[in-house]
Structure 1
Amino acid sequence: MNLWILVLATVFGCYALKLAGYLVPARVLEHPQVRRVVELLPVALLAALVVVEAVADGRHWTFDAPRLAGFAAGAVAVWRRLPFLVVVVLAAAVAALLRLVV
């Protein structure tokens, strides 16, 4: 299959998904359970991405000390409600320092 066909199909699929969000009636979004899911969905997706990046390398699981230490430092920083930029820099610094030592 041609690469450009896949790119165009992805573009149209993303556009259709975004358009579908605008076409959802307001009364559906006002329902408390739907509102709760909509509010928590980005948090769940970001958490899943962080965990995958922390313990996966391509298609394989990778449990190495620097990654897990950076993940733990980031988790503690989030728990302490530090700003997002501080969380990222702290996690990266811990992982980099541990890679330097190990």
Structure 2
Amino acid sequence: MPEVDLVLAVLVLAAGTYAIRLGGVGFGGFRLALRLEQWSEPAVVVLLASVATTSALYEGSDFAGWARVVGVAVAALAAAVRAPLVAVVVVAAGVTACLRALGVH
């Protein structure tokens, strides 16, 4: 039942995000403390980076293989040079597929 755990985690995070947004905008102009606001933006970046890194490196509890790691690295480079999202995805998938076709897993 890992799918149920994943759905539950996404729902909890969505509810928490909505509550924070609602608290910052509504309820008589209540705003989060300045330190919390300054800390929360980098925390979101770190959280997303850690999820992306884990997804890039692992498939379940096993190493995903070098083809996926290289594909994600190529995607990061394409994004860094501000390529369109479609191009980033296509290039990453193409590099990963080519490496797997060459026997790199």
TM-score by length of 2: 0.62
Runs of 4+ in 1 over 4 A off after TM superposition: 9-16
Q: Tell me, in whole angstroms, the C-alpha distance in 1 between the residues paired with 2:19 and 2:89.
A: 33
Could you tell me which residue of structure 2 aligns to residue 88 of structure 1?
Answer: 89
Could you tell me which residue of structure 2 aligns to residue 23 of structure 1?
Answer: 23
Correspondence list, 1:40-59, <5 A: 40-59=42-61
Residue 38 of structure 1 pairs with residue 40 of structure 2: yes
Query: What's the Cα RMSD here?
Result: 3.2
Shift of 1:13: 4.7
Q: Tell me, in whole angstroms, the C-alpha distance in 2 between the residues paired with 1:72 and 1:12.
A: 29
Q: Tell me, in whole angstroms, the C-alpha distance in 2 between the residues paired with 1:81 and 1:10.
A: 31
CA deviation profile, 1:30-49 (whole Å, cap 9, x unmatched): x2x43343333443333222
Structure 2 CA distance for partners of 1:77 and 1:11, relative to 1, 3 Å: closer
Identity among equivalent pairs (%): 28
Structure 2 counterpart of 1:20, which letter?
A
Q: Tell me, in whole angstroms, the C-alpha distance in 2 between the residues paired with 1:10 and 1:50.
A: 16
Shift of 1:12: 8.1
Shift of 1:65: 2.3
Structure richer in helix, relative to its length: 1
The count of residues paired between Structure 1 and Structure 2 equals 92
Q: Tell me, in whole angstroms, the C-alpha distance in 2 between the residues paired with 1:68 and 1:15.
A: 28
Q: Describe the SS at the equivalent of 1:81.
A: coil
Structure 2 CA distance for partners of 1:43 and 1:93, relative to 1, 3 Å: farther
